[in-house]
Amino acid sequence: MVKLFIDPGHGGTDPGAVGNSLQEKNLTLQIAAAMQEILIEEYENIEIRLSRSGDETLSLSARTNAANRWDADYFVSIHINSGGGTGFESFIHSSAGRSTATYQDYLHEDILKESNFTNRGQKAANFHVLRETTMPAILTENGFIDTAADANKLKDSSFIEKLARGHVNGIARAFQLKRKQTIPNPSTLYKVQIGAFKERANAESLATEAKAKGLDSIVKQEDNLYKVQIGAFSSRENAEQLAEEAKNKGFNVYIS
């Protein structure tokens, strides 16, 4: 079993970089949630934890402590750049070992391939999350939020999906993950949702409420709406079971 720790950068009172009416903390969470969904649906023997699955404020040491305590096999920190450049770059720690460098080769190559971003290079740095993790770690900077061309890409949910897919492909190569024999077609998944909003903030607050009541929830952007999803299943029965649980907790539920 491969234990993957995904760290969506920033969150809560720390929006990260902002620009072009985007906030880094929301984009990093979208990419992380999409990675989690793809990995669970398509690959065997992978266990995933996220440092945060909602809009929470977390210190850097809370993130690295959680990964270290869990004894993760790999730590992937997702970020969006700013400062007026363009394209993709990735970082490992300056004193990282060989396997960390090899994993960086795979992720870097696959993310560029999926996203078509300009290559800004594979770099090394002394960042907290790279230094204080006891397992191989990478930090990815996925485009520039304050550069219109990059920001326009990041506004498109299918581009977020491509970035997620690039990360997943690299991780699958690094850890020789086996694909599931039967991959459910995403369009035939039964998605259990409890709300759809024009404003992201409304979706976030419902997601937070759901989590407080013990439901896993993610916010997904679809058809210009922010949807709060609490689960996705290939079996209708499982979807209905979760829907029932959410109804009992006072939510309006629909399965799509």
- Residues with a catalytic annotation lie at 141
Beta strands in the chain (DSSP E): 2-8, 18-19, 22-23, 46-50, 74-81, 88-93, 119-125, 137-144, 190-197, 218-222, 225-233, 254-255
Q: Are 127 and 96 a contacting pair, CB within 8 Å? A: no
Residue showing tokens 């999803």? 229
Nearer to Zn ion, 79 or 93 (CB): 79
Interacting positions 15-54 with Zn ion (CB under 5 A): 16
Which range in 1-9, 44-52, 129-137, 149-157 contacts Zn ion by CB under 5 A?
1-9
Q: Does 9 bind Zn ion (CB under 5 A)?
A: yes
Which range in 7-15, 183-191, 195-203, 225-233 contacts Zn ion by CB under 5 A?
7-15
Interacting positions 57-86 with Zn ion (CB under 5 A): 79
Q: Does 8 bind Zn ion (CB under 5 A)?
A: no
Min. distance of Cβ 18 from Zn ion in angstroms? Answer: 11
Distance CA 201, CA 226 (A): 9
> Which tokens is 26 given?
């929301």
Min. distance of Cβ 79 from Zn ion in angstroms? Answer: 3
Q: Which positions lie near Zn ion, rule CB under 5 A?
A: 9, 16, 79
